[in-house]
Structure formats: structure tokens, C-alpha cells
Amino acid sequence: MNTYDIIVVGAGPAGLTAALYALRANKKVLVLEAKSYGGQIVNAKVVENYPGILSISGYDFAKNLYEQVSNLGGEVRYETVLKVEEDKTVLTNKDKYFGKAIILATGVSYRHLNIDRESKFVGKGVSYCATCDGNFYKNKIVAVNGGGNTALEDALYLSDIASEVYLIHRREEFRGESTYVEQIKNKKNIHLILNATIKSLNGTDKLESITVQKEGGEEEIQVDGLFIAIGQDPKNEIFTNVVDLNEKGYILSEDGVHTKTEGIYVAGDTRVKTLRQLTTAVSDGSLAATTAIMEMSQKA
């Protein structure tokens, strides 16, 4: 069986940062990734809220981080993890590995509307993260789709940046907290469109308008940006033998690093946390790796 000091599951910003810190500590590291490196950040056309970097594309940020890991001798294998055992054996669709420590950094996937042109307009008017991309829409017109806390928070956040915010929800009542609903109703530049769904995204090279299906027919709304906030999906079911999950499927950790199983750590958006940003992902990755290294040395 192939043996490593640290196995990282997931090659997003949290996972690659964990690998980077472990490699700089002279550890033998394997990163396992089911699809491609970079995680959600690769979809960001421009990143301008990362400290010390004025502006960079999400793809370039991910590529630079991947190259740092590769240049230090990190091994990245594109395999699907099927199971992690308590003894820190990792079974994939291709092989079996053993790590002295495991870091779970599988991230999340944003739920999509699954309508035409949605993927085409990502980074060109369509976004899944208001705090990431909101500043690009200063004094412009935007829409938010969703009815939970994230959608309500996004609408409030964007109302201080954009000139007009349309909040579109498929029901009459919001699922989010009533305090947010009251704040929204007191915001003059937030317009509620209830009992409605987005039928189409319109534009040539970028998003120019959305067509909304509601009672009484369709309405076309001119917008510069659409923020889709209908939820995220962590993929942690296969880890339930070694970690505890909350009701939404996120990994529970009392300190944001340790799981219920000794030697198995968590980092990034896949864990329960209040803020899911690039900065918090790399912070999680560096902390998880540093903690794992320290605890490994204590046992040596």
C-alpha cells in the first residue's frame, strides 16, 4: 500500500494550501481530487478581495497555488475517494492509500437553476457569491434568486452597493429569518418578486436581462447581474464513519480543525462555518496542516 505523511482529499484552495504547508514542513503529501484542481474559485472571473493581491482571475490564483504544490514535489492524483477508514486508509476508484494524517477539504458545490445559458454567463453576469462579486456591480441593477438566509443576506449586502436589487422567490413567504425579512422590507431599493421563478437568462456576450415567470404571465427585467442563492451541497456522506455531520451535511468540528476521529482533520467550505470565502479557505488549510504536523511530531 502507498504510504504518505498526509493525504488531502480535495484540491480546492483549502486542500492545496494544506498540501503546501505540509510540503514546506518536508512531509510526503498526496492530494486526491475527483475532478480538477481549484474548486469553485476557478469560476471567478476576477478576485479583488484577497489581501495583498490587487486583482487576479480565479483560474490564475488556482493555477499558481497548484504550481506551488507541484514545484515542492506534491503528488496530485485525479481519483474519486470512495471511503476513509478510521485507521486512515483511503480507498479510491483506482487504488488504496495510507496516511498518517488525513485532511478532508472536499468543499461544496453551488446549486444551479439548471436553465439555458446559466453556465455561459458565469463570470459574465451570473454569480453564486455576493460577497465575492458584489463590488463589480456598484450603482448597477442586480437580482437575487432565493428565499433562505443566504439570499436575504445577499440582497441586504447588495442593496448598499447596487442601485436596485430585485429579490426573486418562488413562494409567498421566505424561509429565512424574520429579522432579515423586516430589514429588506425597509430597504427602498430592494424590490420583491414573489411566487415567481426565473425562466430564462438573456443577452449575447453577457447577461442583459432575465425573464421571470409569475402569476399573470412573464416579465422581462433588465439587470446587470444575477446572484443565485438557492443553496450549497457538501458531499460528505461517504465520511460518516469517521466524522459527524450537521443536518445540512457539513462536517462538525468544535475548533474548526479536528473531527471526531483522531488523525482526521477538516478544512474549508465542507465544514460548519459562518463565512465561506477564499481567505477563510486558505486559512483553514494552513491551520489543518500545521495542526496535523504538530500532533504527528508529538507522537513520534
Closest to 251 (Cα-Cα) out of 230, 234, 226: 234
Residue 265 · residue 292 · CB < 8 Å: yes
Say whether 132 is catalytic: yes
Say whether 233 is catalytic: no
Say whether 60 is catalytic: no
- Any idea of the CA torsion for 29, 30, 36, 41, to the nearest 10 degrees? -30
The catalytic residue among 5, 129, 269, 284 is 129
What are the CA-CA distances from residue 136 to residues 110, 161, 274, 275, 277 (Å)?
A: 20, 9, 23, 20, 16
Residue 10 · residue 270 · CB < 8 Å: yes
Residue 177 · residue 150 · CB < 8 Å: no
Chain-centroid distance of CA 18 in Å reads 16
In the chain, the largest separation of any two C-alpha atoms, in whole Å, equals 71
Distance (Å, rounded) from C-alpha 98 to C-alpha 101? Answer: 9
Where does 52-199 have alpha helices with state H?
58-71, 130-133, 149-159, 178-185
The catalytic residue among 133, 224, 269, 284 is 133
Residue 144 · residue 166 · CB < 8 Å: yes
Taking the CA atoms of the chain, what radius of gyration do you get in angstroms? 21
The catalytic residue among 87, 116, 132, 233 is 132
What are the CA-CA distances from residue 70 to residues 8, 74, 198 (Å)?
A: 14, 5, 42
Active site residues: 129, 132-133
